[in-house]
Structure 1
Amino acid sequence: MESNVQEIGNLFSHLHVEEPSHEFQESRPDSSATVQPTQVMYQAEHPATKSEMLFAAFSMFNDIGRIHTFLTNIWDQYHQGSLDLITVSFTSNTAIDFVRRLEKDFFGQFTSIDGPEEVINTMIQLKCHVSGNDMIHMKPPNEDVQEVIHLIYGDMFLLLTSFMDVFSPNAPPVYCPGHFGKYDPNVDRKKLTSEARFEEDKIILAELLCDFWFLARSKDGPAWEDGLTQGFRVMLNSRKVHIWTMFAAKLFLDVHHLLRLAEGVPFKQIQGLGKHLKESWLLTLRMRDSSQDTLWPDGNDRAVQSNLLDAIEQWLEGDIIQKGIEQLVRGKVSASQGRFRLLQQHALLCGLLAFYLQATAQRTGVLYANALGVVLYTGHLYNAVCHERDCETAWADMDLMINIQTEERVFVGGKPNNAQDYFKRFCLCMGYSAETFAANRRQHVPLAASRGPRSLQIKGDMSHILYENSCEGSGSCLDKIEELINNKFVVDKDDGNEDPPEPDTETIAIRKRTKGETKASLRHKLRKQAALSPVELLLAMQAMMSQEVPVLAFDYFHLHRACWMMLDMIQQALHQRFSKYFEAGYLETKSQLPFIVGYIFMVASGSQKTAERLGLKKPRAGMEVSSELLTVAGQLIQTLLTDQNFGPYSRQATAYIARDGRLFFSPSEKDRGSLEDGITIDFGDFELIYAGDTQTATN
């Protein structure tokens, strides 16, 4: 109604509005004053209840079980021949470090727990309570309880703690063979009861306990020490059994049972590797000339002896463990239980030792090749004669080396394709600055590059991290591995690409893995998240190691000998030509043999310029111009590469070594005839030879 509206409009008529005071009007807010934000620290509560501890323990053992399943799958792939020993061994040893981290995080969160024994007993009691069984009188445990015992490695805890009584620093735990029973690898383990399987595990570990004791007594083990040996060392010193030690023991036994009758195969593999590496180095020493001592001093030889040869001689040719145990017992107890007992049954340790030998040989080989310079410069010559079609036979070792080191590093850019570029890239490789070849330079004095001569590099990002960690004692490398894998494989959500699809289930992913896993496929398998799971990290690590193992296996010593033999052959065949162009003292010592590649390129570059001045490079001339030195070198390389003894040179090098230690090679009569054919026209310092119908001009 109208009257009601009027009444509502006057509701505030009785309110009194006060005017602001003079002081308030004159006051102004201080613009310089800033409000300091309150520093609020949020910290999650530490779970203290028993139920939270049990849930966290179950989650931890569940994650450990996933890791264990992944490792047994890749060891099965090794057994089937689709993965190499080094890859599965280092992936497994890294997994032990992951479990160690999980255990550390768990007990750091639940500080009131005494140790693994309390967790294991609590979880078994809970399972017995839920299933309505009496833990004390239940013999044997039913299937449900057995499942929990295997999940939390209760059997391994019982086995390792039972060894504590005989595992003391001063007395070796020597057992007579068959003391606990006889292990028969021909028995089908799947048909055995849980008690029989436990007895098998006890027999295997008990008979190797003395070997582990010997390694655990030392303060620092060998560079290739495995996680199980580290666990035994901790157990010997602290008298405690950790979860990661139980995990390592279970993994060791599972690999042992997986290989079964083939348990000695990994040791035979690394014995063959050690023999090959030792022979390759000794053949390289026999070939070396005394003039090269300034490039490779005796101290380097002693380093190779201590780092590489001693490991081969002590661990693969002689049983250092058995010898040490026999010296300790001194006839009090018969410690003779067979040579190389531990390595024949410990495949993971064999893989770590193989990695150490391969990585050490790779580093030494690269350093040796860089010191003498033969490999890199011969690669330039090989590229030149192949491009000029003077050699049409592929050199597999050299092609592989160029592929490993990349063309950009070997040739200071892409492969050169003409005589002047051959010489220019060779000079850049030797350490001359690119400014030396600038077209607008008035002074033609050679300039040295600030980076010095180009050299070969040690390849393999993952291998480098693992070598530093295991062989140089730089500490844990899990953080570095995670960083490397994240940089190489994980796709960022804001990089403009499509989100990668969700990975397959773990079972399917494991089934699909092969050693040829590519970066692209892994980028789609590994989803972007705050942190990859341990299994995803191990999968990526396995893929990277599979790709780097062939790089580790490359024998730079073998390639050096082949290159030295090739250059020595070319120098002897072209000695008169070199003496004519560069006088008799073109080589002061034999260590300057790689310089003949530069001489060949220098003459070829001058020959090309002369041919251009004569107009022989024009199409109307109808002829192809090349260097005689380069052509002869190519034909000699072609002859050598087709020699059936050149391929397995590392095994048949004595056929090429004369009694005075020098290499020799004599071209066939057919090759000599083709080189001497043609009409020679003298143009001063250069010769143009028109040979046959091809009208090939050579200098």
Structure 2
Amino acid sequence: MLPSQLLGTYRQYKRDTDSVASWLASTAKASGFPADLLTAPGGAGGTQAPNSGRLKGKERAKARGSGKQSTSKPAESKVAKHIIAIKDFLPLAQWIAGRQNPAISVPDVFSATIDRLITLRSEFNGKLSEHGVETDTKSDERHGYFVGVLEAVRAAVCPRGTPTTATAAANAAIDSANDASQAPGEDLGGRFAALTVDEPSQAFIEVFRNAPHERPEPRNDDPASYEAEPQTSLEDTLFAFFVMIDDLNRIRSRIEWIWSNHRDGMFDLAAAAVATNTAISLARSLIDEVKPIFDKQEGGAWGLLNKLFFATCLRKGHQPEEIYLGGSKDNFNYNLYDTADECYLVAFRHLTSFVDVLDPKCLPLIKEGMFGTYDASSDRSSKTGPQRHQEDQVLLLEFFTELVTVNRLLPGYPVEDEFLRGMKELEKTGTVTFSLVFAAQIFLDIHHTMRAAVRRSFATMFEETTVMHNTLQAHLDFHKNLKIKNWPASNDHVLRELSRMLDWMGKDPVHGAKAKQFTRMKRPVPPEMEVHRIMIYSPILAGLYLFRIRAQVYEAGVAVANAWGSITYSAHIYNALLQQGLVEGRWEDMDVFLTNMGDANFWTGGERPQTMQDCFQKFCLQMGVSAAAFTKNRRRQPTVASRAGPRGIKEGAPVSSMLATKICNKADMDWTLDLIDNIVARSAYKMEGSLNDGDLTMALIDDAQELKARDRLRQQKAKARASGKDKTTLVPEELVETLALSLNSESLEMSFPLLFMHRWCWRVLRSIKESCDPVLRERYTPAYMDKESELPWVAGYILMSASGFEGSHDLRLLRLAADPLNEMLGVGGGRMAIKLLRDIGKHIEFEEEHSEGE
């Protein structure tokens, strides 16, 4: 279940309703109302209670009377949970309004909450009328009953109401509600076309969904639990249905926004895929919250959708016999494709058709071209409804085979999206869930948005994972004979396993598994059976796979860099040379890396040293040793460690790193408030401009104080939430947008070839050591370095010599170190990592910084 800060509209509405019931019941109880009359069947503890939560007979008369204090002793409830009947809202309100000695004050938050409820329900008009639904007086009365009760409660207890108007409103509402209830499962067919339900205006929905949603607390911290009775009438079911569909459509629209921006080169594939899969996961949670209400109606959600589709078609002027093929409701008229697509019926019908022929003993290997050929380069907007339907049929049925193959034959497949997970559940239960249909619909929507660009996304993924595979292999070859004590063989084993997985995926195990099935059936493998179809057809799976490999290679790169010190100590030498003006040009790869990771990862305090003395001191702090470790007689003394110990590079990309474990382990997203806070607050980027205006930039926050301030704010919010003071909300599609922008901003850092940079820096250190070797031998004896793994110490000797730590500032070593670095920069070696990034579509531009007044 989603946390309260990320609920859908219906759950927010239900929380509001329960909070109104809770305040009324606890306040009335605190002022002497008989507590035992609040308990309804089904309460916790199994205590028997009256047949309903409503007041009856004399007790109802008392509650409607003058409001004098009851002399009866309140009965202590033996149960922790009270179900408050809607019919008893008003008697409770009248009891509260009748208290005069002392009078009971009504908190503003109660008034705001009940106003919100009344507006949401009373403005729920027009949705079905848009779809050709005619009004019916009896149905209007049923729907108006709950609104009438709320208005009567407001008139009774809020200052602007009067007892007279409250009683009149209550009587009218109760009288019209005699037949308001409807048994769960009652046939909807005859009543659907005669129902009027109000639709909330879009302006109000926006306000409602983004409101802080503070709610009234139980009076006197009453420990009992109060809830409003479940509302299961057709009218309430339709209300829940429409607000859920509204939430889903907003998520669906935001997903289309993500992929249109990816298609246009604005969003990284991995960022788009992770954000989209997260959006579908959120949608699944929203659906699960409302599902119990639909399950009580005949046909569930799909009964409602089919009837909505039918009514929509009638409104558009179609005759009943035109709406379904052959007069049967098993399938719709494909000329009405657009309407069916809006109602999620296209994906639903294809899924049910697939289930009908799915054999648990046989892999569904369809004949290539059996349903036609999908041409992504064609103009979809010019196609007829049947042609669009056929396109969707080809895409889905061919892709279903891919998903079933993975679920049945490839348990070690490295990634799993919501569509694949939903298909796995389908095979277990044989049931087409609404959440699976939503995932299938998103699959189709992406193809409708991307068209031929889908294959370009696959090519992007394949090229980048190939580069990472080659980088891994080169790293393992580089370190065949170059070992270090704090890099155990088990670490290399992990890298080799990752390389093997990349090799396995590069050959497409899904295609291989299907080919084996054809061989077992003694049938030739169809040449039209495309290799890598699953990744080509699903940019989400392709993006999730790219994200996973990036995350694992990134993590390995940080570990290697910390174990060997190659990049960090090269950065220290580079900075010292810059401060002395000895560098001819810029080491652009290093500049990009330092910008991505932040100066605090390399120099304590977060500021680059400018003097040679500071350069040496910060080097020692970073390496975790005292300056005494570099004295001439160090071989006769143990190395003196600093108190802080060595400082390694900390993993950046906080949002990507946070999600990496879930995606690598194919784990379901556990939506907690901490996770939401991390996504929203932990990104090291801030938005400047607007994506809608085409001038959006995500600027890296390089101010350590600003980052600390953001983290303090996040911690304060966590404390406020723990104490119940934080009532802020974040609607699902806003979280999806924030996640997409954060992941897209971090994609450059996650893609940076750290393993390549490590090897390149190690070669630079080798060249510097060879250039400085004569002077190093002179100053520190030939024993200054015993083996190549001690190369980082060379940086220490160079900086110590220049710092004056030994009594004189000797810049000879620093000047000698500049020669191989400048030679490397002169032949373009300072931008090799940038070249790799550009090869995979990550283009980097440099801008000159100007001081104020220039």
TM score, norm. by length of structure 1: 0.75
Listed one character per residue, the Cα deviations across residues 598-618 of structure 1 (whole Å, up to 9, x for unaligned) are 11122222378436xxxxxxx
Q: Which position in structure 2 is the counterpart of 1:374?
A: 566
TM-aligned CA deviation for residue 126 of structure 1: 5.4
User: Equivalent of 2:624, from 428, 431, 448?
Assistant: 431
Q: CA RMSD in A?
A: 3.3
Change in Cα spacing, 1:283 to 1:39, as seen in structure 2 (3 Å) is closer
What one-letter code is carried by the residue in structure 1 that aligns with 2:239? Answer: F
Asked whether the 8 Å contact 2:301–2:434 carries over to 1, the reply is: yes
User: Equivalent of 2:437, from 231, 237, 246?
Assistant: 246
Q: Which position in structure 2 is the counterpart of 1:530?
A: 728
Q: Distance in 2 between matches of 1:546 and 1:250?
A: 24
Change in Cα spacing, 1:435 to 1:485, as seen in structure 2 (3 Å) is farther
What one-letter code is carried by the residue in structure 2 that aligns with 1:470? Answer: I
SS in structure 2 of the partner of residue 478 of structure 1? coil
Deviates more, 1:37-46 or 1:156-165: 37-46
User: Equivalent of 1:351, from 527, 543, 546?
Assistant: 543
Q: Distance in 2 between matches of 1:430 and 1:37?
A: 56
Asked whether the 8 Å contact 2:279–2:736 carries over to 1, the reply is: yes
Q: Does 1:319 align with 2:514?
A: no
TM-aligned CA deviation for residue 449 of structure 1: 4.0
Asked whether the 8 Å contact 1:120–1:154 carries over to 2, the reply is: yes
Change in Cα spacing, 1:518 to 1:64, as seen in structure 2 (3 Å) is farther
Asked whether the 8 Å contact 2:511–2:531 carries over to 1, the reply is: yes
Q: Distance in 2 between matches of 1:518 and 1:648?
A: 24
Q: Distance in 2 between matches of 1:257 and 1:568?
A: 54
Q: Distance in 2 between matches of 1:187 and 1:605?
A: 68
User: Equivalent of 1:121, from 306, 314, 319?
Assistant: 306
User: Equivalent of 2:755, from 552, 557, 569?
Assistant: 557
Q: Which position in structure 1 is the counterpart of 2:323?
A: 138
Q: How does 1:191-206 map to 2 (within 5 A)?
A: 191-206=382-397
TM-aligned CA deviation for residue 229 of structure 1: 1.3
SS in structure 2 of the partner of residue 43 of structure 1? strand
Q: Distance in 2 between matches of 1:512 and 1:389?
A: 42
User: Equivalent of 2:678, from 472, 484, 490?
Assistant: 484
Q: How does 1:573-592 map to 2 (within 5 A)?
A: 573-592=771-790
Q: Distance in 1 between matches of 2:417 and 2:222?
A: 50
Change in Cα spacing, 1:177 to 1:271, as seen in structure 2 (3 Å) is same
Q: Which position in structure 2 is the counterpart of 1:227?
A: 418
Q: Which position in structure 2 is the counterpart of 1:387?
A: 579
TM-aligned CA deviation for residue 142 of structure 1: 8.6
Q: Distance in 2 between matches of 1:187 and 1:434?
A: 69
Listed one character per residue, the Cα deviations across residues 487-520 of structure 1 (whole Å, up to 9, x for unaligned) are 359xxxxxxxxxxxxx9xxxx9873477624699
Change in Cα spacing, 1:424 to 1:289, as seen in structure 2 (3 Å) is farther
Q: Which position in structure 1 is the counterpart of 2:154?
A: none
SS in structure 2 of the partner of residue 290 of structure 1? coil
TM-aligned CA deviation for residue 574 of structure 1: 1.7
Q: Which position in structure 1 is the counterpart of 2:817?
A: 633
Q: How does 1:46-445 map to 2 (within 5 A)?
A: 46-110=230-294, 112-113=296-297, 115-124=300-309, 127=312, 138-139=323-324, 149-217=340-408, 222-288=413-479, 290-307=481-498, 309-316=499-506, 318-332=507-521, 333-336=523-526, 337-413=529-605, 414-432=607-625
TM-aligned CA deviation for residue 368 of structure 1: 0.8
User: Equivalent of 1:598, from 771, 789, 796?
Assistant: 796
SS in structure 2 of the partner of residue 201 of structure 1? helix
Change in Cα spacing, 1:434 to 1:36, as seen in structure 2 (3 Å) is farther
TM-aligned CA deviation for residue 583 of structure 1: 1.5
Listed one character per residue, the Cα deviations across residues 143-187 of structure 1 (whole Å, up to 9, x for unaligned) are 998665333311111110100123233211111111112323343
What one-letter code is carried by the residue in structure 2 that aligns with 1:377? Answer: Y
TM-aligned CA deviation for residue 380 of structure 1: 0.7
Listed one character per residue, the Cα deviations across residues 370-426 of structure 1 (whole Å, up to 9, x for unaligned) are 111111111111111110111142111111222222212201122122222222111
Asked whether the 8 Å contact 1:56–1:106 carries over to 2, the reply is: yes
What one-letter code is carried by the residue in structure 1 that aligns with 2:429? Answer: S
Q: Which position in structure 1 is the counterpart of 2:229?
A: 45
TM-aligned CA deviation for residue 137 of structure 1: 5.8
What one-letter code is carried by the residue in structure 2 that aligns with 1:471? Answer: C
Asked whether the 8 Å contact 2:282–2:732 carries over to 1, the reply is: yes
TM-aligned CA deviation for residue 314 of structure 1: 1.6
Change in Cα spacing, 1:145 to 1:106, as seen in structure 2 (3 Å) is farther
Q: Distance in 2 between matches of 1:319 and 1:144?
A: 38
Asked whether the 8 Å contact 2:363–2:401 carries over to 1, the reply is: yes
Asked whether the 8 Å contact 1:466–1:477 carries over to 2, the reply is: no
User: Equivalent of 2:655, from 462, 476, 479?
Assistant: 462
User: Equivalent of 2:828, from 644, 655, 660?
Assistant: 644
Q: Distance in 1 between matches of 2:475 and 2:396?
A: 42
Change in Cα spacing, 1:648 to 1:486, as seen in structure 2 (3 Å) is closer
Q: How does 1:490-501 map to 2 (within 5 A)?
A: none
Alignment gaps of 5+ in structure 1: 1-34, 438-443, 490-502, 612-625, 653-699
What one-letter code is carried by the residue in structure 2 that aligns with 1:574? Answer: C
Change in Cα spacing, 1:379 to 1:209, as seen in structure 2 (3 Å) is same
Question: How many pairs are equivalent?
Answer: 573
What one-letter code is carried by the residue in structure 2 that aligns with 1:432? Answer: V
Q: Distance in 2 between matches of 1:184 and 1:143?
A: 19
Asked whether the 8 Å contact 1:167–1:213 carries over to 2, the reply is: no
What one-letter code is carried by the residue in structure 2 that aligns with 1:77? Answer: N
Deviates more, 1:95-104 or 1:191-200: 191-200
What one-letter code is carried by the residue in structure 1 that aligns with 2:617? Answer: K
Change in Cα spacing, 1:267 to 1:84, as seen in structure 2 (3 Å) is same
TM-aligned CA deviation for residue 647 of structure 1: 3.2
Listed one character per residue, the Cα deviations across residues 572-605 of structure 1 (whole Å, up to 9, x for unaligned) are 1221211122221221111111110111122222
Asked whether the 8 Å contact 2:268–2:744 carries over to 1, the reply is: yes
Asked whether the 8 Å contact 1:516–1:543 carries over to 2, the reply is: no
Q: Which position in structure 2 is the counterpart of 1:500?
A: none
TM-aligned CA deviation for residue 39 of structure 1: 4.0
TM-aligned CA deviation for residue 648 of structure 1: 2.9
Asked whether the 8 Å contact 1:96–1:248 carries over to 2, the reply is: yes
Q: Distance in 1 between matches of 2:468 and 2:680?
A: 34
Change in Cα spacing, 1:599 to 1:36, as seen in structure 2 (3 Å) is closer
Q: Distance in 2 between matches of 1:206 and 1:487?
A: 41
Q: Distance in 1 between matches of 2:439 and 2:375?
A: 23
TM-aligned CA deviation for residue 273 of structure 1: 0.8
TM-aligned CA deviation for residue 243 of structure 1: 1.7
What one-letter code is carried by the residue in structure 2 that aligns with 1:578? Answer: L
Q: Which position in structure 1 is the counterpart of 2:52?
A: none
What one-letter code is carried by the residue in structure 2 that aligns with 1:278? Answer: H
What one-letter code is carried by the residue in structure 1 that aligns with 2:260? Answer: D
Between the two proteins, what is the percent identity of the paired residues? 25
TM score, norm. by length of structure 2: 0.62
SS in structure 1 of the partner of residue 451 of structure 2? helix
Q: Which position in structure 2 is the counterpart of 1:516?
A: 697
Asked whether the 8 Å contact 2:662–2:668 carries over to 1, the reply is: yes
Q: Distance in 2 between matches of 1:163 and 1:48?
A: 32
Asked whether the 8 Å contact 1:518–1:543 carries over to 2, the reply is: no
Q: Which position in structure 2 is the counterpart of 1:19?
A: none
Q: Distance in 2 between matches of 1:183 and 1:535?
A: 31
Q: Distance in 1 between matches of 2:444 and 2:221?
A: 58
SS in structure 1 of the partner of residue 784 of structure 2? coil
User: Equivalent of 2:745, from 529, 542, 547?
Assistant: 547
Q: Distance in 1 between matches of 2:222 and 2:656?
A: 48
Change in Cα spacing, 1:515 to 1:219, as seen in structure 2 (3 Å) is farther
